[in-house]
Structure 1
């Protein structure tokens, strides 16, 4: 099976990032994670970051840099991790995709439960270097 491309958008505001709890319409609901979504055909990774932020939480964001690559634990997706600034705007979650959203520090993210192992690795190993 061919791997699909997806982005993980680490949305930053001050010293916090946006954590979202997966909603009822997505696979594996209930997990906390940064914003994420598939890259659509003909779309750049930066465009996917901007679109997913608008669709899932109603924020206009400015993509920063690609900072990591990983894959989902079922190996179906290659994940391209991007930082993006979300300095203004109110979070308005799409209730199908996002059950809950909150601005947290990286340390607070690691205390959320449940989270995916790959996300935990990012916040323990990659984020401190950024």
Structure 2
């Protein structure tokens, strides 16, 4: 059996939106799963906590600072990556500057809009399904 790798995912909700909108990135052509849509995130480095990893990955991908709020969920991908999904907070007036080596673009999307993307990573589809099944709750759910 292949070794399990560890990763983190940043779940960012757009402040002040009437319907939950999530920050979704499109991965650049130079990283694993090129051109796919997903939440920001990546691998946990040796000696790094989940919180440290999610902050670092977000900074590397989008050039913005975040504060981890709480771990929402955990999943195992089909490629044997154990993902820790973290609700994080970003200042609303903070600029997002995608690193072109990692992120082609970003969007704020509702779950329905994200799920309509044919290139959405399967792990993100699993996240939305778990949310709808009540495996975890998001702030100010409607």
Q: Does the CA contact (< 8 Å) of 1:33 and 1:115 recur in 2? A: yes
Q: Could you say what secondary structure the match of 1:73 adopts? A: coil
In the aligned structure 2, how far is the partner of 1:128 from the partner of 1:11?
20
Q: Does the CA contact (< 8 Å) of 1:18 and 1:102 recur in 2? A: yes
Larger C-alpha radius of gyration, 1 or 2? Answer: 2
Work out whether 1:102 is the aligned partner of 2:90.
no
Assess, with a 3 A threshold, how the Cα gap between structure 1 residues 58 and 115 changes in structure 2: closer, same or farther. same
Aligned to 1:41: 46
Aligned to 2:6: 5
Structure 1 residues not aligned, in runs of 5+: none
Q: Could you say what secondary structure the match of 2:95 adopts? A: coil
Bigger fraction of residues in strand: 1
In the aligned structure 2, how far is the partner of 1:63 from the partner of 1:71?
21
Assess, with a 3 A threshold, how the Cα gap between structure 1 residues 110 and 4 changes in structure 2: closer, same or farther. same
Shift of 1:128: 7.2
Alignment RMSD, CA only? 1.5
**Aligned counterpart in structure 2 of residue 62 of structure 1, from 52, 63, 67:** 67
Residues matched between the structures, number: 129
In the aligned structure 1, how far is the partner of 2:57 from the partner of 2:99?
11
Aligned to 1:82: 86
Moved over 6 A (4+): none
Q: Does the CA contact (< 8 Å) of 1:11 and 1:84 recur in 2? A: yes
TM-score by length of structure 2 reads 0.83
The superposition leaves residues 23-46 of structure 1 with CA deviations (integer Å, 9 ceiling, x where unpaired) of 111112011000110011111100
Structure 2 residues not aligned, in runs of 5+: 138-142
Aligned to 2:140: none
